[in-house]
Amino acid sequence: MAIEEKSVKELQVVVFKLENSYYGVHILQVQEIIKMADITKLPNTPYFIEGVVNLRGKIIPVMDLRKRFGLSTVEITREFKILILKTEELEFGVLVDDISEVEKIPVNIIENPPKIISGINGEFINGIAKTEGRLLILLDIEKILSVEEKEVLKDIE
């Protein structure tokens, strides 16, 4: 009797917390995680851009995901973390409450987001994974920013 091999494809994601919800970003899109740093405010930037940080001599724009996602805002403290993400076009940081872990998610537990949130405002949600004890919202960072917003961030870099 042959041993039946089951291979389940997995997605490796960095899990972070934002207002009591868990989000995941594909690990290949995460450059690094840094502790909260001094953020320099910039005039005339989109409302969800907190400012810029100096990361080893490189200027990185930092986005407040709470503002971008329309969540309630809170005072930014030293407990926050900055997740440095990279797309094909740019590199930027996002403020998150906490980084949870790197997790392997079997692709068979990922479902499409409900239609009510998959419209224009939810197009950056790739799917929702049902893991043990929680739901994990998987983000497509290529779609978090509009074309115009990407151009603004490129000008900041």
pLDDT at position 4, please? 47
Enter the pTM of the model: 0.85
Instruction: Find out whether 98 and 17 touch, Cβ atoms under 8 Å.
Output: yes
Q: Rounded to an integer, what distance in angstroms lies between the CA atom of residue 138 and that of residue 111? A: 10
Spatial CA neighbour of 85 closest among 20, 1, 16, 25: 25
* 49-55, strands of its sheet edge to edge: 30-35, 81-86, 91-96, 58-64, 49-55
pLDDT at position 19, please? 87
pLDDT at position 117, please? 62
- Flag residues of the chain having pLDDT under 50: 1-5, 119-120
The radius of gyration of the chain's CA atoms, rounded to the nearest angstrom, is: 17
pLDDT at position 6, please? 55
pLDDT at position 3, please? 45
